[in-house]
Amino acid sequence: MTRDELKAEMLRHLQYSFGKDPAHAQVRDWRMALSMAVRDRIVEPWFAATRATYSGQHKRVYYLSLEFLIGRLLEDAIVNLGLGQAAREACAALDLDFEAVMTDEPDAALGNGGLGRLAACFLDSLSTLSIPAHGYGIRYEHGLFKQSFHEGRQVEQAEDWLNQPHAWEFERAESSYEIGFWGEVEEKDGRAIWHPGDAVLARAYDTPVIGWQGRWANTLRLWGAKPTKLFDLARFNTGDFTAAAQPEEAARTISRVLYPDDTTDAGRELRLKQEYFFAAASIRDILRRYTSEYDDIRRLPHKVAIQLNDTHPAIAGPELVRILHDEHGLAFDEAVQIASATLNYTNHTLLPEALERWSEGLMRHLLPRHMRLIEQIDDWHARTTKGRTLSAIDQGSVKMGELSFMLANRVNGVSALHTGLMKKTVFAELDRLHPDRIVNQTNGVTPRRWLLACNPGLSGLVTETIGTGWEDDLERLGQLDPHVSDAGFRARFAAVKRANKAHLSDWIGREMGISVDPDAMFDVQIKRIHEYKRQLMNVLDVIATWHAMRGEPGLDWVPRVKIFGGKAAPGYQTAKEIIRLINDVATVVNSDPAIGDRLKVVYPPNYNVSMAERLIPAADLSEQISTAGKEASGTGNMKFALNGAPTIGTLDGANVEIRERVGAGNFFLFGLTAEEAMARREVPDHAGRAIAASPELAQAIAHLERGTFSPGEPDRYRHLAQILRHHDYFLVCSDFAAYHAKQRAVDAVFRDRDAWVAMAARNTARSGWFSSDRTIRSYAAEIWDVTPVEVGPGACVLAS
Ligand code: F58
């Protein structure tokens, strides 16, 4: 598509789709016009992919996830269709600021963090690999909350992405399912019939997901909740307008917000309703599609593979059994066998508080038939495995991990270390009963978004050096390795990073009013705020460094910009204290004349996918410092390495595999191993001992206790200090000295700029394995038993 064709299409959409005169159009109108012009190019490959799947009777993959953190879609579509140049030129010809048009799009923040972003990368790779697939989730009206800081404290506001025009979805009013809740189960002629007490409608909204070079497109189908009866007219006519609208309100609540607060009973009930709502609608849709093509329901696993993204969709298992048994009339055991040959489950955490459990009482009340089936599935498992001591129902609650395991063909962890720990800990007994069921699938990230689109400077250099083709064959980055010893290549690599840093410095200056030196080391930790991720250890290191700089202002310190990004769960008080501490430390450090430009702390609010795309290409150092054994995998760690930022990190999650691949000499390792961490917790007063052994740590904690960063309120950080001293489960104190020392080793390498650049470039050259294309190929071969569809020349719609 040429510049002029795209421009003409934009003008056409502006006028005829949106009724706007170009003379009066705003950036938003142009963004919509461009989006529509681009979207039109997706529809054909989308139809072609659907037709090819039907005509070839290919097996389909269904990825059920309560989260899809897809971010902005316009740039993604432009990049995948190869329309970058045409779009830039068309905007220029229309006198539009291309960057402003692109950044006008709100982020679709339909997820919390890594789990949701992984689902989005997987969709991209499934389309790139032309594997017939659907993502299923919820069309939340409000995505993850907007974060701002008020006097350093996190403030949450409702997010409002749908309040702006959304270009990418197609509403499918004809694809609606009635989803029941509550009610009773009637036993009749040996069969169970569930009579729900209430119901809502699940309505489909489809977003096409275009793969690399527009060869294939799959569908992300998100469910919105609607009332079965729109409106109580009788009540309205009596003048009770609020009550008349009540059923509509109640139904819509189900798809209103992502992950509502589950600390109250009402919140928990809503969460379970969301889970059943989307799982049931998805199963119904999957079976409708299957039965429209095939007669024999027993062959379902030959044509359908369902992946449960953690346990949030786990109720899909009992729902599938219910439909096969109660509605299709299969014997119970056969129904369970078919369901468990179709379903697979990915585990993303071993943290006990994050393993889902639902109270039996709530489950029985909300989903009476399903609770009964869960009991039967539990009995069936005990019967068929002789694992009688093992149950998915424990002390009045249903353990969704165990239930998902029992009903799965394959269960996977998301890094080698995490999968190993799953086998040793939470699922030890189930692994013993089913030794082949657990497999590892190390996470990956899409190179289209996380290198090609977000880092045009580096991707340009890669292409100039090794040619194209790496975008969907990322291991080709290995061809860069020999170039790292070439001083000319290193100089160009360094120039790209410097330009990205200058760009970020401008943005930080504009957005936050903080001036940062682009020649300083940009040291970045971006992720959800959680004690196990140890942002607290990072900020303690900032305090220790600041203290040391003040003590010896004459020393030749390596200038650093410490960048933080991330949100805390609204109810997670300790995480919120850590946020406040980072902001308070920033206030003191950034205005300290004794420090000047040598240390800055920057914490831009409202970290999201788009902010990650801005920060990662400009990072020098990647902070991956979780307590070993606690981070299941990480995916940010991969994005940084790919963009030429070496890691300072522990042997945790996928850090282990990153280090193996980039080489131990290109990775700053410190800290206890997972095994050592477990042993250390048993040592009496481990924190006290570590504090006594590290004057830097003792000093940093003393600053917290003295109120150095909370003038006028010395007690503000007493609670954090108490945790460190007496309840240091995440071993911040035990790892601090090693971390602090390793940071000085980082300084030493950074001083030797050439050595640093070589290390950074080797990280890029050796990160090719962490493409989500590799991950998806592996799921396809080892879990789903699907193969990519050969895309014939007719179906292949390449952008010109
Ligand atoms: C993350 N989990 C893991 N959970 O922490 C991370 O190590 C891993 O790389 C990633 O999954 C992908 O495998 C995660 O993001 C959540 O966001 C939960 C969602 C449900 C509510 C509680 C948080």
Q: Is residue 494 part of a domain?
A: no
* Res 800: pLDDT: 27
Inter-residue contact 780 to 129 (CB < 8 Å) = yes
Question: 114 C-alpha to center of ligand 1: Å?
Answer: 5
Inter-residue contact 63 to 132 (CB < 8 Å) = no
As a whole number of angstroms, the distance between CA 646 and CA 238 comes to 68
Confidence of residue 308 (pLDDT cuts 50, 70, 90): very high
Q: Verify that 559 and 680 share a domain, yes or no.
A: yes
Question: 519 C-alpha to center of ligand 1: Å?
Answer: 34
Q: Is residue 472 part of a domain?
A: no
> Which of 64, 112, 115, 450 most suits a substitution to test ligand 1, by most atoms within 8 Å of the C-beta?
115
As a whole number of angstroms, the distance between CA 113 and CA 443 comes to 14
On the question of pLDDT at 137 being above 80, the answer is yes
Render pLDDT for 189-228 as a digit per residue (tens, 0 to 9): 889 999 999 999 999 999 999 999 999 999 999 999 999 9
Domain, as residue range, for 341: 59-71+107-441
Task: Spell out the residues 6+ positions from residue 460 whose beta carbon is closer than 8 angstroms to its own.
Answer: 496
On the question of pLDDT at 245 being above 90, the answer is no
On the question of pLDDT at 591 being above 90, the answer is yes
Retrieve residue 26's tokens.
Answer: 């705003």
Q: What is the CB neighbour count within 10 angstroms for residue 472? A: 20
CB distance 122 to ligand 1 below 6 Å:
no
Q: Is residue 785 part of a domain?
A: no
Q: Among 408, 441, 474, where does a domain finish?
A: 441
The DSSP H or E segment spanning 502 is helix 487-512
Q: How far is CA 82 from CA 48, 89, 212, 219, 367, in A?
A: 19, 13, 9, 20, 48
Q: Verify that 34 and 159 share a domain, yes or no.
A: no
On the question of pLDDT at 794 being above 90, the answer is no
The dihedral through the CA atoms of 451, 456, 458, 461 has a sign that is positive
Calculate mean pLDDT across residues 733-760.
98
Q: Among 441, 471, 506, where does a domain finish?
A: 441
Q: What is the CB neighbour count within 10 angstroms for residue 234? A: 9
Calculate mean pLDDT across residues 65-82.
98
Render pLDDT for 6-24 as a digit per residue (tens, 0 to 9): 999 999 999 999 999 999 9
Q: Verify that 65 and 85 share a domain, yes or no.
A: no
CATH at 669: 3.40.50.2000
- Range with lowest mean pLDDT among 62-76, 78-92, 227-241, 768-782: 227-241
Inter-residue contact 677 to 731 (CB < 8 Å) = yes
Question: 631 C-alpha to center of ligand 1: Å?
Answer: 9
Calculate mean pLDDT across residues 362-368.
98
Calculate mean pLDDT across residues 318-325.
98
Q: Verify that 90 and 141 share a domain, yes or no.
A: no
CB distance 356 to ligand 1 below 6 Å:
no
What pTM value is reported for the model?
0.98
CB distance 732 to ligand 1 below 6 Å:
no
CB distance 443 to ligand 1 below 6 Å:
yes
Retrieve residue 284's tokens.
Answer: 């119904």
Q: Verify that 86 and 133 share a domain, yes or no.
A: no
**Ligand 1 atom at shortest distance from the alpha carbon of 635:** 9
Q: Is residue 760 part of a domain?
A: no
The dihedral through the CA atoms of 478, 647, 629, 125 has a sign that is negative
**Ligand 1 atom at shortest distance from the alpha carbon of 346:** 13
On the question of pLDDT at 596 being above 80, the answer is yes
CB distance 81 to ligand 1 below 6 Å:
no
Give 774-792 as a DSSP string: HHHHHHIIIII---PPP--
**Residues that are catalytic:** 348, 527-528, 533, 635, 639
On the question of pLDDT at 231 being above 90, the answer is no
User: How does DSSP classify residue 627?
Assistant: P
CB distance 110 to ligand 1 below 6 Å:
no
> Which of 262, 349, 652 most suits a substitution to test ligand 1, by most atoms within 8 Å of the C-beta?
349
Q: Verify that 417 and 563 share a domain, yes or no.
A: no
Render pLDDT for 398-421 as a digit per residue (tens, 0 to 9): 999 999 999 999 999 999 999 999
The DSSP H or E segment spanning 168 is none
Q: Verify that 65 and 91 share a domain, yes or no.
A: no
Q: Verify that 184 and 100 share a domain, yes or no.
A: no
Question: 610 C-alpha to center of ligand 1: Å?
Answer: 19
* Res 306: pLDDT: 99
Residue with CA at minimum distance from ligand 1 atom 12: 115
As a whole number of angstroms, the distance between CA 78 and CA 643 comes to 21
* Res 797: pLDDT: 41
Cα 352-147-611 angle, rounded to 5 deg? 95
- Range with lowest mean pLDDT among 255-269, 333-347, 737-751: 255-269
CB distance 313 to ligand 1 below 6 Å:
no
Q: Among 399, 418, 441, where does a domain finish?
A: 441
Collapsing DSSP to helix, strand or coil, 698 comes out as: helix
Helices (H), 594-647: 609-615, 636-642
On the question of pLDDT at 506 being above 90, the answer is yes
Question: 354 C-alpha to center of ligand 1: Å?
Answer: 9
Question: 65 C-alpha to center of ligand 1: Å?
Answer: 12
Q: Is residue 787 part of a domain?
A: no
CB distance 635 to ligand 1 below 6 Å:
yes
* Res 792: pLDDT: 65
Render pLDDT for 639-669 as a digit per residue (tens, 0 to 9): 999 999 999 999 999 999 999 999 999 999 9
Q: Verify that 734 and 605 share a domain, yes or no.
A: yes
Question: 269 C-alpha to center of ligand 1: Å?
Answer: 22
The DSSP H or E segment spanning 367 is none
Task: Spell out the residues 6+ positions from residue 320 whose beta carbon is closer than 8 angstroms to its own.
Answer: 283, 306, 335, 339, 342, 343
Q: Verify that 44 and 175 share a domain, yes or no.
A: no
User: How does DSSP classify residue 319?
Assistant: H
Q: Is residue 745 part of a domain?
A: yes
**Ligand 1 atom at shortest distance from the alpha carbon of 312:** 20
Q: Find residue 622's DSSP bridge partners.
A: 524, 647
Retrieve residue 399's tokens.
Answer: 């353990």
Q: Verify that 327 and 307 share a domain, yes or no.
A: yes
Q: Is residue 414 part of a domain?
A: yes
Our count of domains for the chain comes to 3
Mean pLDDT score of the chain, rounded to an integer? 96
CB distance 653 to ligand 1 below 6 Å:
yes
* Res 250: pLDDT: 87
| Helix orientation angle between 84-93 and 27-55, rounded to the nearest 10 degrees | 150
Render pLDDT for 471-480 as a digit per residue (tens, 0 to 9): 999 999 999 9
On the question of pLDDT at 302 being above 50, the answer is yes
**Ligand 1 atom at shortest distance from the alpha carbon of 632:** 7
* Res 776: pLDDT: 98
Render pLDDT for 539-570 as a digit per residue (tens, 0 to 9): 999 999 999 999 999 999 999 999 999 999 99
Give 91-105 as a DSSP string: HHHTT--HHHHHHTS
On the question of pLDDT at 716 being above 90, the answer is yes
Q: Verify that 334 and 386 share a domain, yes or no.
A: yes
Q: Is residue 51 part of a domain?
A: yes
As a whole number of angstroms, the distance between CA 238 and CA 676 comes to 70
CB distance 632 to ligand 1 below 6 Å:
yes
Question: 257 C-alpha to center of ligand 1: Å?
Answer: 18
